[in-house]
Amino acid sequence: MALIDAVKTACDRLATLGWRDLLLRVTGDQLDIRQPTAAKLRDALQTPLTVVDRGFTGFGDFAPDAKQGITPGLPGRSLLYHAFASPGVSTGVDGPLRGFPTLREIEAVEHLTFGIEPPTLAALATRAALARGEKLTPVVFAHEYRPARDTCARTHADLAFSRTGIARVGTQNGLYSPERRGFEPEDGADPFAFRVCPARYGVFLAVPRKGAVATAVPMRRQQGDQNRKFWVPVHKLFDGDECLAGLTLTLQFKSFHYNDKIRRIQVLLGATPPAGPPFQITDHIATFAASSRFGQAMLMPVPHPRLVEPARRNGTFVTYRVPPAESGFAAFEPGADIDETTGAEVRPAPAYVHARTEVRDGVLIDLGADPTRPDVLANVSKGNYDALHYVDFTGEGQIDAVIGGLAAGAQLDVTGQAGLFAGRGARFLSERRTARDDRVGHARRRCRQCCAAGSGGLIRWRSAIRGCPRTCRCLPIASTPTRRRSPRWCRSSAASRLGRPRLASTDAFRHFVPAR
């Protein structure tokens, strides 16, 4: 199906649910999404608008200089995309809208902004102002459309990109809220349940640019950004012949995740654990959503009945010997080394390891509820007992994008790949953080090592994660072919999220917005 046909189907469905009247009201009766043909809808979306009422609820942070329903190549300056994707747009002319776009419909409009006038690679090279020797490179990003307050520049709503993605593990399947344009983290019927929250990925042709205001705006600007290079997205890649003029592309996303926390703990204590679960886990962590209603490349954590479970191997509890050491949290605390160059912490194992469940002759003893030994802190500090390992279902990983129909050329580099950390939380979660701050864990670990290389055959861009051991800023490194960045995007973070277990190695990250 042609992109405009998919968008027309969405517009026809939503027109009777208050969306036609809404867009007519906001544009002074200029943009009518109910058109008899796809061709007429295309014309209506590209016709310049002389009126955009930004005083209407939800449109106050629409780009102030935007004046089209679809602005080629610029979703943040496309009124239809803003209306569909912004969580602030929920009220119509006569009250609440009676229905909302699906994720797939939002994605269709997003792709139309890039494909309504398919550019050539040469045109993209000109737009990106490539210097001599520079080329466009396919890069995997986690991305989402954000209200102005959550973008990098904070001037208007726009897409934000990150080279690290975070998805949230949980005990129940994900539930998308069309009105909120996000996934619900909680289940109203079960106060003890957590729903998984996925992460959305995409491949963009990108260029490396320094973090100067004129070219790329990193969120939470830090000293030295003007000398650091960041990947800046230029154009999204998607299936079909409407993405790039003269080319027909096919995209396939693959994911790999692993969890080797127990192995790391065992090795730290001098043991040689066997390969496989529960020491190393690679299955049942996350997978791309099979349902097309979520669109392409929506990474969905696999729900499990419990967030953590006792570790067993061949029916026997897996334990470790707790060493005597002063404990501040009644846990085994391996500590960390400090990198003398960066001052970053270097951890070969988790910072805190649960040590309150003693295993004696195959029986579990809760040290926090043992009346004969009421001082749990002293008991853990004394050590010299076997503690139970617990398995969680978080993990680190990588996203692979295999692209067919794209070959190296004067404007395109296919030798370097830009990979990224897998998983990401939704901005929606930050809006839910209110009275529940007492259980918010705001880890701000960032990784500086996010690079990888391409492989032969079909062009494969792999977002590699080497399990960077240090807690440092996830900033692109000029000497590597991959880094975290985006065009004019802010250094936004997924900060202020509910402190739930996460499917990734970082909890805060920088995004960028393309400077236009």
| 3-class secondary structure per residue, 282-293 | CCCCEEECCCHH
Query: What residues does each domain of the chain span?
Result: 3-115, 128-257+395-514, 260-293+302-392
Cα separation, 301 vs 288, whole angstroms: 8
Q: Residue 23's pLDDT band (boundaries 50, 70, 90)?
A: very high
What does the pLDDT read at residue 38? 98
Strand partners, 182: 177
Strands 337-338 and 345-346: antiparallel
Spatial contact of 345 and 338, defined as CB atoms under 8 Å apart: yes
Q: Residue 264's pLDDT band (boundaries 50, 70, 90)?
A: very high
End-to-end CA distance of the chain: 31
What does the pLDDT read at residue 214? 63
Q: Which amino acid, one-letter code, is at 157? A: A
Question: In 3D, which of 236, 277, 192, 180 has the Cα closest to residue 403?
Answer: 236
Q: Which amino acid, one-letter code, is at 441? A: G
Phi, psi of 38 (to 5 degrees): -65, -35
State the number of CA atoms in the 13 A half-sphere of 207 facing the CB: 26
**Alpha helices (H) in 193-315, listed in sequence order:** 261-268
Segment 111-138, tens digit of pLDDT: 999 999 999 999 999 999 898 888 999 9
Q: Residue 153's pLDDT band (boundaries 50, 70, 90)?
A: confident
Which residues lie below 8 Å from residue 481, measured CB to CB, with a gap of 6+?
137, 416, 417, 418, 451, 452, 453
Cα separation, 425 vs 168, whole angstroms: 6
What's the chain's length in residues?
516
What does the pLDDT read at residue 408? 65
Phi, psi of 250 (to 5 degrees): -130, 135
- Tell me the whole-structure pTM to 2 decimals: 0.80
**What is the dihedral angle through the alpha carbons of 292, 296, 297, 298, rounded to the nearest 10 degrees?**
-50
Question: In 3D, which of 231, 114, 222 has the Cα closest to residue 513?
Answer: 231
- Is the dihedral angle over the CA atoms 74, 77, 82, 84 positive or is it negative? negative
Lowest mean pLDDT among 94-98, 279-283, 334-338, 426-430: 426-430
**What is the dihedral angle through the alpha carbons of 145, 147, 149, 152, rounded to the nearest 10 degrees?**
20
Residue in this structure with the two tokens 């399990």, named with its chain if needed: 467
What does the pLDDT read at residue 258? 92
Cα separation, 481 vs 450, whole angstroms: 9
Mean pLDDT of all residues in 20-39: 98
Spatial contact of 466 and 193, defined as CB atoms under 8 Å apart: no
Mean pLDDT of all residues in 200-218: 83
| CB atoms inside a 10 Å sphere around CB 349 | 21
Instruction: Give, in degrees to the nearest 5, the angle at Cα 117 between 111 and 123.
Output: 105
395 alpha-carbon distance from chain centroid: 14
Cα separation, 493 vs 502, whole angstroms: 15
Q: Residue 470's pLDDT band (boundaries 50, 70, 90)?
A: very low
Residue 427 pLDDT > 80: no
* Radius of gyration, CA atoms only, the chain: 25
Task: List for the chain the helix, strand, coil content (%; round to 5).
Answer: 20, 30, 55
Helix axes 103-115, 3-14, angle to 10 degrees: 140
Strand partners, 298: 200
Segment 306-321, tens digit of pLDDT: 999 999 999 999 999 9
Residue in this structure with the two tokens 């009945």, named with its chain if needed: 305
Which residues lie below 8 Å from residue 452, measured CB to CB, with a gap of 6+?
398, 417, 418, 419, 461, 462, 463, 464, 481, 482
**Buried-exposed string 6-23: b where 16+ CB fall within 10 A, e elsewhere:** bbbebbeebbeebbbebb
Residue 330 pLDDT > 60: yes
What does the pLDDT read at residue 474? 27
Question: In 3D, which of 510, 495, 382, 386 has the Cα closest to residue 433?
Answer: 495
**What is the dihedral angle through the alpha carbons of 61, 63, 65, 69, rounded to the nearest 10 degrees?**
-110
